[in-house]
Amino acid sequence: MEQINKNRLFLASCISLIVTAMTFAIRAGILGQLGTDFALTDTQLGWVNSMAFLGFPMATIFGGLVYNSLGARKLMIIAFLSHLLGILLTIFAGGFWTLLISTFFIGFANGSVEAACNPLIADMYTTNRTTMLNKFHVWFPGGIVIGALVSKFMTDFGMSWQLQIASMLIPTLLYGFLFFGQKFPKNENIVSDTKMNIKSLLSPLFIFMVICMTLTATTELGTQQWIEKILGNTGASPMLILAMVTGLMAVGRYFAGPIIHKLNPPGVLLISAIIAAVAIYLMSSATGGMVYVSAILFAIGVCYFWPTMIGFVSEYIPKTGALGMSLIGGAGMFATSIWQPVIGSWLDNAKLKAIDSGVSVEQAELIAGQETLSNIAIFPMVLVLLFGILYTQRKKLEAKRV
């Protein structure tokens, strides 16, 4: 009988997440080029960004509902094909509407990866789920480092944005090769009763965590996706900052086990929210070298948000099963999709207001970026309150934990 090769499945999962992360980083790196080539405003670029964040939750809702019947293997086939289609359509995009469609497919692929791999890993590693989910999610910031450096160096050497998008075909084909033909586990260690999963979604704790996830995701991804536009005139290199931030996040997630064991998930989330709020507030007025200091704090703040939220649902609300893990991620991405055009409009409006006051275009862009960061800082400030409430209930949560 063929054995399940957990190491190969975990490696393939990590590479598929690298592709997901590269789509974010490279899109952030080429945003200015897309705006110039297709004469798009920041608000229009926000709508293009939002398609990736909209496709993601649609895939996680679909994947979460059918995971028990289709399994991780078939969902990864969907992810692989959607990545190929989205990448190729982006390369040959001709304007705003074709960018919307191609970016949606990439977002759907990214969501399918999450819908398949999170429960797959939770099923394979039952005794240390949150730790292994953090190690898996090392490769979201890790992939952003790769994508940010690829984008920066290809841009510096005058390579087109189409070639930057095409670079993602290499890891896509690699994870497809590693996944297909492998034996997958049969949902033995997670609750696979779909009716029970759906019923458990109505628990007050799950609804509370969904609300929190909309804020954690927007804090992290809303800032990162616009990093070139927000920090482009601060005197620092936006893509190097993105690589530095996500590199620190990758290291932090890799060594998450002892931290989570010592502080427990509610404690980790509360401390993360406090640090993220301080970091974004500092970044909203920083220029030059101080941008790097505040960016390091930002990396520490958002590092554990995403995987710890998913791990929390898996460990503290286990009856939601694969559906719960998929929907918590989908909620985060859906919220981020809604806020993308809003963030774009913040930048447009603040820039126009600054130009009307008589400053240069470069100074107006700096002012717009700082005002936008001030607005984004509200999200982690609210999280400090919400996670503070969660932390006070930690003993009750542990007592009810299954």
Q: What is the pTM of this model?
A: 0.77
Query: What Å distances lie between residue 101 and 18, 84, 105, 265, 343, CA to CA?
Result: 22, 13, 7, 37, 21
Q: What is the pLDDT of residues 182-229, one digit of tens each?
A: 888 876 656 667 888 889 899 999 999 999 999 999 999 888 767 767
Can you give the pLDDT at residue 188? 62
* CA 379 – CA 302 distance, rounded (Å): 12
Can you give the pLDDT at residue 1? 39
Is 402's pLDDT higher than 60?
no
> Given the structure tokens 């700096």, which residue do they identify?
366
Q: Out of 66-75, 237-246, 317-326, pick the least confident.
A: 237-246
Q: What is the mean pLDDT of the chain?
A: 87
Mean pLDDT calculated for residue range 347-372: 88
Sign of CA dihedral 136, 85, 342, 26: positive
Q: What is the pLDDT of residues 46-99, one digit of tens each?
A: 888 888 878 988 998 898 888 888 888 999 999 999 999 999 999 999 889 999
Q: What is the pLDDT of residues 100-119, one digit of tens each?
A: 999 999 999 999 999 999 88
Mean pLDDT calculated for residue range 369-392: 93
Mean pLDDT calculated for residue range 283-310: 88
60 and 329 Cβ atoms separated by less than 8 Å: yes
Q: What is the pLDDT of residues 156-167, one digit of tens each?
A: 888 899 999 999
In the three-class reduction of DSSP (H, G, I as helix; E, B as strand; rest coil), residue 104 is classed as helix
